[in-house]
Amino acid sequence: MSQLEIKDLHVAIGDKPIVKGLSLTIRRGEVHAIMGPNGTGKSTLAKAIAGHPDYTITSGDVLIDGKSLLELEPDERARAGVFLAFQYPSEIPGVTIANFLRAAQQARLAEGEELDATAYYKRLYSKMDLLKIDRKFTSRAVNDGFSGGEKKRCEILQMAMLEPAFALMDETDSGLDIDALRIVAEGVNAIRAGAHPPGVLLITHYQRLLNYIVPDFVHVMHEGRIVKSGDKNLALELEAKGYDWLKKATAA
Q: Which residues bind another protein (CB under 8 A)?
A: 50-53, 73-75, 77-79, 82-84, 86, 89-95, 99-100, 103-104, 106-108, 141, 158, 162
Closer residue to another protein in complex, CB, 86/217: 86
What whole-number distance in Å separates Cα of residue 59 and Cα of residue 68? 12
**Shortest Å, Cβ 220 to another protein:** 26
Task: State which residue, 198 or 215, has the beta carbon closest to another protein.
Answer: 198
Nearer to another protein, 31 or 142 (CB): 142
Q: How many residues does the chain have?
A: 252
CA 236 centroid distance within chain = 22
Residues 43/11, Cβ–Cβ less than 8 Å: no
Name the residue nearer to another protein (CB basis): 82 or 176.
82
- Least Å from the CB of residue 161 to another protein: 9
Q: Min. distance of Cβ 81 from another protein in angstroms?
A: 9
Helix (H, G, I), strand (E, B) or coil at 146: coil
C-beta of 40 vs 158, nearer to another protein? 158
Answer yes or no: are the C-beta atoms of 156 and 102 closer than 8 Å: no
Shortest Å distance, C-beta 142 to another protein: 8
From 62, 65, 28, select the one nearest 45 (Cα to Cα). Answer: 62
CB of 153 to another protein, least distance (A): 16
Q: Distances in Å between the alpha carbon of 183 and those of 95, 111, 156? A: 25, 37, 10
